[in-house]
Amino acid sequence: MATSTSRKSLRIGVMMEETQIADIIGVDLFGNISYNMYSKAVAFDPRVAIYDSQIIDIEFLYLASTLEPATTSPSIRYLPTHTYDNCPRDLDIVIIGGPFLDHRPPSAERFMKEAWAKTRVWITTCTGSIWLASSGVLDGHRCTTNRLFLPAARSVAPGVEWVEQRWVVDDKPFEGEGSGELWTAAGAGAGEKLPNPAQSRP
């Protein structure tokens, strides 16, 4: 059986300060393939050991403006492991949830600009793409966001090609080996399009 020191490893940064928890809940899917979860599952049921070769050492870095308890919806407080200032820039993946437009810490903008080309994969959900776009790194890229906020996205970041789709995958600059990937997803619960008031009946 392989030891954890010989496994593939990932460092995943999670930007969840002032975001909607539904936007970043997918991080738990990464957690399910982590060695930490696997080791607990094997202790519970040894048959799980058949997945040993697929398990990855994953370090999750939860970011916020300070190391004080930070807020995500609905009034949940979490303890960050890193600030935007001291977080490494060369992560494997950054996951960004969706805050409203009034949450734009300057330190988060610096982090996004400095880590953009050093981190291979960036994943956003809902207005997380608008947060990333506000730093300027998405200009020229094809992206999506919560369909309700597409007009706001086009106003905030006119240099981005905003499209109404469930998700969009685009190439991005990457300074390491392999090609960079940008994954943007629409709102976790965006639902149907809003009705056009001009077409609504009295």
Which ranges of the chain does DSSP label H, i.e. alpha helix?
21-24, 27-32, 35-44, 106-115, 128-133, 150-156
SS3 category, 108: helix
For residues 129 and 101, the answer to whether their CB atoms sit within 8 Å is no
Q: Which domain holds residue 90?
A: 4-187
pLDDT category of residue 117 using cuts at 50, 70 and 90: very high
User: Domain count of the chain?
Assistant: 1
Query: Looking at this protein, which amino acid is placed at residue 176?
Result: G
Query: What pLDDT shows up at residue 1?
Result: 39
**Is there a domain that residue 113 lies in?**
yes
How confident is the model at residue 201, as a pLDDT? 47
What is the percentage of the chain residues whose pLDDT exceeds 90?
85
Considering the domain boundaries, does residue 201 fall inside one?
A: no
Q: 199 lies in a domain?
A: no
- The pLDDT assigned to 198 comes to 55
Q: Is residue 202 part of a domain?
A: no
User: Residues 8-55: pLDDT tens digits?
Assistant: 899 999 999 999 999 999 899 999 999 999 999 999 999 999 999 889
pLDDT for res 52: 92
Are 180 and 141 spatial neighbours (Cβ–Cβ below 8 Å)? no
